[in-house]
Each structure stands twice: as C-alpha cells, then as structure tokens.
Amino acid sequence: MNILHICAYSWDIGGPPRIIYDYTSVLAPQGEKLTILTPMSAGDVLYTTAPGVRVVQVKRHWFARFFPEFSPGLYRYLRDHGNEYDIIHIHGIWHFGAVAPYFVKLRAAKVVTIHGLLDRWTLKHGYWKKKIMSWVIQKQLLKKTPLILINNKREDDDVRRYLGYQHPNVQIIPNGLRISEYQNLPAKGTFRQQHQIENNQQMILFLSRIHIKKGVDILLPAFRLLQKTHPNAVLVLAGPDDGYLPDVQQFIETHQLRKSIILPGMLINTDKLAAFADADVFTLPSYSEGFSVAAMEALACGVPAVLTDHVGFSDYLRAYEAAYISDTTVESVRDGLAYLLDHPAEAALMAQNARRMVSEVCDINVVANRVLDAYHQLVPQQV
C-alpha cells in the first residue's frame, strides 16, 4: 500500500511527528510504501525519519502567518503526484495541508487524525478564525472524510458535537510508543550533574512546548506554593518556546526563582531520557491534548506523574491507577506534586501501574497495525 502522511514534520511541532515516526518505523519494514509531505521554513529542523521512509519538503509561504502551513508547493505536489497514493493521511485540522487534498481530484482515500483539535479549550482559542473556517470549509470537508481517527472517547464526543451528528466511520486508536526505547535509561545523575541539581533536591519535570495550552500558567504559581513546604524542590521546564517563554521568564524574575526553575530548552534523544531518569515527578497540567506523547514517555520511563483529565488518555490512567489526576487549578496541581513527593511508596506503585498500562495499551507494534487495518478497510483490494 502506498501511503502519504501530511504534517509539519519538524522537531518544534510536538507530538504528531513522533507519532508518524513510530507508525512508519513499524510499517516500512512490512513492505508498505510511506511518504511524508511537510511544509518547512528556513531554520526548521526536520524530524528523524525511519529507514525506508521518503520525505518531501515543500516551502512554507509567507501567507502561512494567516493560514497555517500555507504552501503552493504542497498543492502542486498533490496535483502532480497525489494519484500515486492509496491513502492520504492528514494530521490535524485548521491548516492548509488539511484542506488542499480535497481541492485535487484524487483516487486516494483520505484519513484525518484529529489530534485533540476539536476540544472545547482549543475551539475557544482563535475562536473567530476557526468559526469562519468551519463555516467556509473545514466542517464540510470533515463530513466528507471516509475515516476519522481519534484517541479516546472524549474526542468522539468532540467530533460529534462539532459535526452535529455521529460520523459513520470514527475509530478510536490510541497513540503508541516503541517501548524498548524507554527500558534502558542513562545512568541516574547524568541530567542533574549537567544542570547543577543536587541529589537531595526534588526534581519536578515538565517536558513539552512552552505554551499556555500546556498549563504552564498554573504550574508556575503551583510550584511557588509547593516551595513553601518543599524548599528543596526544583522545577525543570524543558521544551521549545511556543509563545509563552517571555511570561515564564518574567515570573522567574518577579519571584526570584532563578535558582529553582531551570530552562534547558528542547530535550531530545539521550538528553530527554536522562531527564526522565533523574526526575522525581513528571507533570503536564494541560488544558488540551489529543494524546500527549511526552506524558506517555514519562510513564514508560517509570516517572510518577501529575496529569490532568485533558492529556488524552485519562480513562486509561484511572483504570490502571497510573497517575495522580489533578484539576486545572493552581491548588490542585500543587496538591498533586506534594502528594507524590511526600508518599514515595504510593508514587512508586503508580509508576509501576503506568508501565503496565503503556505495555498493554500503547505498544506501537499493535497500534500501528491497527491503523494499517483501518487503511485496508478503505482500500480492501490491497489486502
């Protein structure tokens, strides 16, 4: 089967490139033909590509400031090569790559993964742009899409509320992880030594884009409250800036927290694993996620976690008792962090449950082949 993924495939985007990498790294060795079509700007760093996977880079146009990912080159590629594919898998909505495939006469079956972009929080932000785009085109195109992939029951409710009816082909498939990548972590102390964090300090790790959607605005005051009872606590805010870093820096300066809050930037590969190995607690107090890859990675590494209902898999977290689930309030996040730091036995049990959850629910070999099965339902002659 010849499959085209459309996504901004760069390191600064967040979860979708990692998800595509994991899917393709499983399916390429099975003989599937896989291409990633990505708009890129000067300075963007292409995400890691699995062996046997082709990447087509097209230039992102200056008009992308007004219409995300706008790229005439992307349209031209679909016009000239789109009919070479059996499946066109679109990642996300509200961007040019999510509408361009519908403006070319293509035989390929279209698949859309929502990635959490229809939840109430996301729809409220940039409300009028999304309202106009929905009215003009996005809602009509989504109704025409043969297959919509989502991660959880909450997203199913979001899709039904957005469309106004139950789409006939929505499938719930969680994101997956290559679990073996998280079984042999760097030696403990590696990250702490690099960033001058003492062994007696309690390290709280946040690893995601520095964006208000990720709950950074409640994490910062929650950490400040925590320090009143846990003066040895250190907060590591790791990730690329996505518009909220100046606010973070201002908070640090205002409250004189330069020694307590560390900003290492984006962590990848062994640096990221070293941070997980040294963290006492991971937290992502997010307002909105499709299915947080960073949170799942932390759980796979055995880090006790404070998460919210909005990370994309809270139903699994509750079923497995795999994390402390907080509200999106300062006090609730503070209470969750304090609880895990003060109750190491309970925290260790949650971490053990979390590893079991990841292995049973999110093994990428199982998940990727579920996606392939969904493709085959659209293109049965390829079975």
CATH of the domain at 137: 3.40.50.2000
- What digits encode the pLDDT tens for the residues 264-294? 999 999 999 999 999 999 999 999 887 888 9
Q: How far is CA 313 from CA 77, 159, 287, 358, in A?
A: 35, 16, 13, 11
- Based on the domain organization, do 376 and 261 belong to the same domain? no
Q: What's residue 127's pLDDT?
A: 64
- Based on the domain organization, do 192 and 158 belong to the same domain? no
Q: Give the pLDDT band (50/70/90) at residue 382.
A: very low
- Based on the domain organization, do 18 and 146 belong to the same domain? yes
Q: State which residues form the domain around 199.
A: 180-361
Cα gap 38→57, rounded to integer Å: 5
- Based on the domain organization, do 152 and 227 belong to the same domain? no
- Least-confidence region, from 23-37, 267-281, 308-322, 340-354: 308-322
- Based on the domain organization, do 348 and 241 belong to the same domain? yes
- Based on the domain organization, do 217 and 91 belong to the same domain? no
CB 358 within 8 A of CB 174: no
Mean pLDDT of the residues in the chain: 93
- Based on the domain organization, do 107 and 190 belong to the same domain? no
List own/partner pairs for 128-134 with CB under 8 A and 24 or more apart: 129/94, 130/94, 133/94, 134/162
- Based on the domain organization, do 124 and 257 belong to the same domain? no
Nearest to 292 by CA among 239, 332, 243, 248: 239
Q: What's the pTM value of the predicted model, to 2 decimals? A: 0.81
- What digits encode the pLDDT tens for the residues 121-139? 888 877 667 777 777 788 8
Cα gap 175→312, rounded to integer Å: 10
- Based on the domain organization, do 105 and 247 belong to the same domain? no
Query: How many domains does the chain fold into?
Result: 2
What region does 51 belong to: left with phi over 0, alpha with psi -120 to 50, or beta?
Answer: beta
pLDDT at residue 81 is higher than 50? yes
- Based on the domain organization, do 287 and 369 belong to the same domain? no
- What digits encode the pLDDT tens for the residues 6-47? 999 998 776 789 899 999 999 999 999 999 999 999 999 999
- Based on the domain organization, do 160 and 309 belong to the same domain? no
Average pLDDT over residues 250-262: 96
Average pLDDT over residues 352-372: 94
- Based on the domain organization, do 103 and 191 belong to the same domain? no
